[in-house]
Each structure stands twice: as C-alpha cells, then as structure tokens.
Amino acid sequence: MHALPRKPILQVFKGEPLTPPPFWLMRQAGRYLPEYREIRNRGKGFLDLCFSPDRAAEVTLQPIKRYGMDAAILFSDILVVPHALGQGVDFQEGEGPVLEDFPGVSKLGEFNPDTFHKYLEPVYETVSRVREKLGENTALIGFCGAPWTVATYMIEGGSSRDFTTVKTFALSQPQEFQNLLSLLVEASVHYLGKQIECGAEVLQIFDSWAGVLDERQFQQWVMGPTKEIVRRLHETYPHVPVIGFPRQAGPLYVDYVKETGVDAVSLDQTMPVSWVAREIQTLCVVQGNLDPHLLVTGGDVMKESLGGILSILGKAPFIFNLGHGVLPMTPPEHVAELAAFVRSWSP
Ligand code: 1CP
C-alpha cells in the first residue's frame, strides 16, 4: 500500500479548510490542449484512446504538467460502462457518442463481472500507471457516470436535447427502467471499486442530466441509485471520499447531500455561492463553480468572478473547480491565468 502523503485535496476531506484551496478542473484533459489533440490523432478514435493505457495515462498527466493541479482525473469516459455491458458505443467525429439500439435489460443479462472486467482492464491499467507517475502532492480521481445519466445515453442512443425518449420509457415501463438502474448500480460499484484498488484516491459520480427531473423522479432515479453506490463503496472503502455532481439540481442539491451520503458535492455555476455557503457547505465539502465560459473569456472578467467564489466558499472546506467541463475553445493561457490566481489567493 501507499504511504499517507500530504495531498491537499485529501486534507480538505479531513475537514481542514486550506488557503488557498486545492483545485482541479472537470475535463482538464481534452481538446483545448494541443498536446491532447496530437495524441488523440495518433490512434483510431476516442474509445481506442480510452482503452490504450500508455496514451490515456499520458493524456491524464498533460494538464498536471502544464498547470500543477492538485488532482489528476483518470482519462476515460462515462460511456465505457454501457460498452462493457454489451451495448456498443461509437464516438463519431464532431457528432458525439452513438450507441447501438437499447437491447433491453434482459438481453444485457445479469451483471457479469468477468466479461465487464475484460473490457475495462485497460482502464484499470491506466489508473495504475497514472498513480505510479503522480507526484506525492497530487491525488488521483476515479469516476463513473451516475446510473440516471448513463441510462439517458443507453435509451436515447446518444446525446439528447429534451430527454423525451428516456422519460417516456422510464414512466411507461417503470419496472424495466428500475432494472436498468439496478444493473448500472452493480456495474458502477464494481467499476469504482476496481479503480480504488488500482490507485484512485477520490471518486466522482457525474450526473450531468440530473437537472431535467421533477422532485419525485430525482428521488427515484438520481438519489436512490447514488445512495446505494455510495453506501456500498463506503462499506468496503471507508477511507475513499466520494464527490457527487448532480448538475443543475438547484435546491434539490440539499436533499441530495442529506440523502446520498456523498462526502462532497460539485456545484454547477447556477448555484449562488452565498446560499451554498449557508445551506450546503455546513453539510459537506463543496466543489465548484466557475462558469466555464468565463475561462474562455479570461482576464479581469474571469478574475472578478473567481475572487467572489474564493472569498465566499474559501473559508470552509472547499475544492475549487468549474461548474462544468473545460470547453474545447478555451485558450490554454487562460487556464494558466486561473491557476496562478487561485494559487496566489488569500482572503
Ligand atoms: O474527440 C474527443 O476527444 C472527445 C471529447 C471527449 C473527452 C475529452 C469525450 C466525448 N469524453 C472526454 C473525456 C471525459 N469525459 C472525461 C475525462 C477526464 C477529464 O475530465 O479530463 C470525463 C470525466 C468525461 C465524463 C463524461 N462523458 C460526461 C460527464 C461530465 C460532463 O461533461 O457532463 C458525459 C456526459 C460524457 C459523455 C460524452 N463524452 C464525450 C462526449 C462528446 C459526450 C457527450 C456529451 C453530451 O451529451 O453533451
């Protein structure tokens, strides 16, 4: 096992507010970096990159080398899970993900850890390699998509605008939909557990489409499955903190934190920070929440918002991040500007 090093992100989870707070950025590896595009173009497409441990590890480390974030996040995608469950996924240039037609839960069968593992072994190999190469102050974050968000892609066959297909499915075939969520809970617990065993020190559960549900649906499809995943991970790996990201959940963020048992929540940019400080930061560690478009703009406009977030949320345990992922058109020098600002910040 690894010795206990002083990694700022892990200290925050012990309840220590740090000045300046640690930071990392969702989608910190990706198309805005020329060195990413170079490696991405060397192979046969995006999924091939996710399943090539040497290149995936290199891409994971690229932003750390440039900007020295406090955490690296495994380079992979939430959609490797349906792929490994037997619903093929393809990423077509400029079109986003395309999935094979949803075969039905009974066709996908009971969760089979052996076949699942065979597909995902290269991802675990990436985790091990990155962990070996990371400096002693940088934590490694593993992740998966939350069952609801992954189910949207499986039922819609790709990205969606209005989620009509998945909502109609879920409301008219509630038992079948619950079975799908249960299958995804099994797969996620297994997948995240393996990531921990290969070196992940913190986990994040991405529920990017949590914000399109009413309260009852949010309870059943977002909170229920997430609570089960967190409970089972905490049972086996009590030392590994879990960050939940129910994007655009609004006031339901409070219920989410109270109900699911996550150790931290990642806030999107629609959450007002003084409300968050009062209502959420008193319950758990918070992470967030600069609008990614401000990073595209950079300069004083960005710094003003940054300063506001840091001065309000930086007093209690806090991890700085964006409200959603780095956008592909972000100038890399703006990320350097952001990193310098956060690093030199004091109240
Ligand atoms: O061509 C390319 O290079 C593809 C662009 C890309 C990248 C860089 C995709 C396709 N996925 C990724 C990596 C990725 N995806 C990471 C890597 C680690 C990091 O953050 O640096 C992570 C954590 C994800 C997670 C992910 N994938 C989410 C949840 C977070 C979010 O952004 O909301 C979702 C929804 C996906 C699905 C996905 N992957 C890729 C695309 C184009 C999409 C569809 C997005 C949509 O429907 O709007």
Report which ligand 1 atom has the smallest distance to the Cα of 74.
18
Q: Which long-range contacts (CB under 8 A, 24 or more apart) does 158-165 make?
A: 158/96, 158/97, 158/98, 158/99, 159/96, 159/97, 160/209, 163/209, 163/212
Helices (H), 134-173: 147-156, 164-172
What spacing in Å lies between the alpha carbon of 15 and ligand 1's midpoint? Answer: 30
pLDDT number for residue 200: 98
Find the residues whose C-beta lies inside 6 A of ligand 1: 26-31, 40, 46, 73, 75, 77-79, 91, 96-97, 143, 145, 159, 206, 208, 325
Vertex 221 angle, CA 215 and 223, to 5°: 75
Beta strand segments in 180-336, E: 202-207, 242-246, 264-266, 285-290, 318-322
For 133, the domain range is 4-344
In terms of Cα–Cα distance, which of 75, 73, 68, 74 is closest to 22? 68
What is the per-residue pLDDT for 95? Answer: 82
Backbone angles phi, psi at 316, to 5 degrees: -120, 170
Classify residue 102 by its DSSP letter: P
CA distance 36 to 29: 7
| Ligand 1 centroid from CA 329, angstroms | 15
For ligand 1, what atom is nearest to the CA of residue 25? Answer: 20
At 190 the pLDDT is: 98
Q: Is the peptide bond before 20 cis (omega within 30 degrees of 0)?
A: yes
Q: What is the pLDDT of residue 16?
A: 86
Query: Is residue 27 among the annotated active site residues?
Result: yes
Active site includes 90? no
Instruction: Please give the model's pTM, rounded to 2 decimal places.
Output: 0.97
What is the distance of C-alpha 59 from the center of its chain? 16
Q: Catalytic: which of 32, 55, 77, 191?
A: 77
Nearest residue (CA) to ligand 1, atom 13? 77
Q: What is the pLDDT of residue 28?
A: 98
Q: How many domains does the chain have?
A: 1
| Contact by Cβ (8 Å): 280, 246 | no
Coil, strand or helix at 165: helix
Report the pLDDT value the prediction gives residue 23, as an integer from 0 to 100: 98
Each residue's pLDDT expressed in tens, for the chain with a length of 347 residues: 455 558 999 999 999 899 999 999 999 999 999 999 999 999 889 999 999 999 999 999 999 999 999 999 999 999 999 999 999 999 987 789 999 999 999 999 999 999 999 999 999 999 999 999 999 999 999 999 999 999 999 999 999 999 999 999 999 999 999 999 999 999 999 999 999 999 999 999 999 999 999 999 999 999 999 999 999 999 999 999 999 999 999 999 999 999 999 999 999 999 999 999 999 999 999 999 999 999 999 999 999 999 999 999 999 999 999 999 999 999 999 999 999 999 999 98
- Note the Cα 231 to chain centre separation in Å: 18
For residue 136, the 8-state DSSP code is T
What are the E-state strand segments in 47-190? 71-73, 89-92, 96-99, 139-145
| Joined tokens for residue 311 | 């001065």
CATH number at residue 86: 3.20.20.210
31 is catalytic: yes
In Å, what is the CA distance from 271 to each residue of 108, 181, 263?
Answer: 38, 27, 18
Is 153 catalytic? The answer is yes
Q: What sign has the CA pseudo-torsion 71, 75, 78, 82?
A: negative
User: Of the residues 67, 153, 253, 256, which is catalytic?
Assistant: 153
> Residue 322, SS3?
strand
Residue whose CA is at the smallest distance from ligand 1 atom 15: 77
Burial code (b: 16+ CB inside 10 Å, e: under 16) for 41-74 equals: eeeeebbebbbbbebbbbbbbbbbeebebbbbbb
Q: How far is the CA of 16 from the centre of ligand 1 (A)?
A: 31
Please report the pLDDT score of residue 4 as a whole number.
52
